[in-house]
């Protein structure tokens, strides 16, 4: 499923369909176009195909993990990366940040904080729609 707009494209990689749907709906309200991926391999293919303005990804999903985050960094250098996880600890967070993750959230995610981070990271790429 893709929500289309003439605006910044956000890739949402999350294997939990309900969570992915919630994230898509909430971020779409910011005025961005959304692309979805259900696992790490699909996300990496999408990065090459669509060149997103921002990537929001779960850490633990099929073909996920910190190696996946490192590969995202290689495939999408300079693209802001937001990480969400249910399985984080201080060591995981430190390693993720060292890999270039700009924002890190533990689940359950506070949607208002997530949106604030996306607004901050996208800045002028947003088309001005603010909920």
CA angle, 20 then 119 then 103, to 5°: 65
The series of mean pLDDT values per 10 residues for the chain, 131 residues long, is: 66 96 93 95 95 95 92 94 90 93 94 96 68 41
pTM summary value: 0.89
Q: CA 88, CA 26: separation in Å to the nearest integer?
A: 23
Query: Under CATH, what is the fold of the domain 9-120?
Result: Rossmann fold (3.40.50)
Residue-range domain boundaries for the chain = 9-120
């Amino acid at each position: 499923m893709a929500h289309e707009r003439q605006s910044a494209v956000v890739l949402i990689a999350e294997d939990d369909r309900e969570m992915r749907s919630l994230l898509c709906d909430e971020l779409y309200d910011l005025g961005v176009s959304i692309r979805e991926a259900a696992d790490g391999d699909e996300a990496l293919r999408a990065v090459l195909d669509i060149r997103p303005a921002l990537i929001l990804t779960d850490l633990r999903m099929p073909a996920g993990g910190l190696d996946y985050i490192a590969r995202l960094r290689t495939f999408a250098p300079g693209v802001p990366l937001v990480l969400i996880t249910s399985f984080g600890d201080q060591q995981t967070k430190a390693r993720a940040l060292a890999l270039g993750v700009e924002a890190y959230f533990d689940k359950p995610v506070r949607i208002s904080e997530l949106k604030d981070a996306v607004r901050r990271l996208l800045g002028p790429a947003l088309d001005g729609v603010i909920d």
